[in-house]
Structure 1
């Protein structure tokens, strides 16, 4: 896999974010240290070395995304964040390599200091069923949030590190953000979705994160 395309990461300040789950009517608060998050989802150009194709990489499983993070880390001379033992994946939190954001990091970055369902009017920031023509679009075309992050809502759902209610769903992982085929109510900062880490489907992708040492 050619992973030579540059990745622009934006420093996200630490803070506190409150997450919620409508299914269980639960809420929980997470304190976050500063971290870095990619300005856009990983593109097909980055993922599959398809020259000129800046649509977000899709049909990427959670395991695929984790492997890509490690491969790009090695390419860039960084310590891979993940260790594999069969289907078990362990996160080395001291590593400086690329990784998936946690669910709390994702929502904190998406909100960028706002507290509503979206950080701006939906059609200005997101490709969804009402404006996408039912297809993905090149990343970075629409308005970013206050942190400078594009496509946090719409275009493709994004894998996060976290398991979704593991006592009920086992290894299912969290997806955030909504996608190009979703109705407007799915493209909100708080919406959570789940799927098995082997899922590959055409409206699911991911974006890179890195921890900040010290």
Structure 2
């Protein structure tokens, strides 16, 4: 694992996760296939290496990139895939605001909401995978700023900062019937209260918005990666 640039990937086993929707008061189970997830949120060093840009408000190679839109994140996935000699996962048409996912591609992509929650929980069933102050940067301990990745304890599968520090963009639409193209955010951030830093908490944002507590991490399908 490359701990300097934050580019290491961790194997996440297959499993099942229960998702819920507060508006419709509906819950449902999702079967999740095995996949790989970046051990850390995408760092500014990795983002700059791939895109040549440093959009974040706070600066530091080992800080998570933030101030990136959902469109920035999926473009990064495609660019990082090409740089690594992998097939890009997305067909992007920003002019009309549409994006398609080629599930056969072996490149980097955003996690689905189900993949994200399954990876965050790492086999646990409670609201968090550990004591909050030990695993997350949030309002009570962050000093009102983002922190370098990997500074808190990982979950049982070796994933750091799944809760706190920066929110993670996910692939899914939040609630198309009510919110249109808004996409799902997961995980809580450095400025959030403790109740936002839970495995089940969902947030939404427009895919063009750039916010200083929102970043992302990447995954690869295990079957596409040849595992």
Aligning the two structures, in what range does the TM-score lie when normalised by the shorter sequence? over 0.9
Quote the Cα distance in structure 2 between the aligned partners of 1:168 and 1:16. Answer: 27
**SS in structure 1 of the partner of residue 99 of structure 2:** strand
**SS in structure 1 of the partner of residue 41 of structure 2:** coil
Alignment pair present for 1:82 and 2:93:
no
Aligned Cα RMSD in Å?
A: 1.4
Q: What aligned pairs does 1:105-144 form with structure 2 within 5 A after superposition?
A: 105-144=115-154
Alignment pair present for 1:66 and 2:113:
no
Number of aligned residue pairs: 210
**SS in structure 1 of the partner of residue 11 of structure 2:** strand
Quote the Cα distance in structure 2 between the aligned partners of 1:60 and 1:198. Answer: 9
Residue 45 of structure 2: aligned partner: 45
**Does the CA contact (< 8 Å) of 2:89 and 2:109 recur in 1?**
yes
Gaps of 5+ in 1: none
Query: How does the TM-score come out when normalised to structure 2?
Result: 0.89
**SS in structure 1 of the partner of residue 106 of structure 2:** coil
Quote the Cα distance in structure 2 between the aligned partners of 1:191 and 1:65. Answer: 21
Query: How does the TM-score come out when normalised to structure 1?
Result: 0.95
1:174 pairs with 166, 184, 187, which one? 184
Quote the Cα distance in structure 2 between the aligned partners of 1:166 and 1:180. Answer: 28
**SS in structure 1 of the partner of residue 195 of structure 2:** helix
Q: Which moved more, 1:70-79 or 1:46-55?
A: 46-55
> In structure 2, do the counterparts of structure 1 residues 52 and 156 end up closer, same or farther at CA, with 3 Å as the change threshold?
closer
Residue 155 of structure 2: aligned partner: 145
Quote the Cα distance in structure 2 between the aligned partners of 1:23 and 1:108. Answer: 22
1:205 pairs with 210, 215, 218, which one? 215
**CA shift for structure 1 position 52:** 5.6
Residue 99 of structure 1: aligned partner: 109
**CA shift for structure 1 position 6:** 6.3
**CA shift for structure 1 position 22:** 2.6
> In structure 2, do the counterparts of structure 1 residues 6 and 184 end up closer, same or farther at CA, with 3 Å as the change threshold?
closer
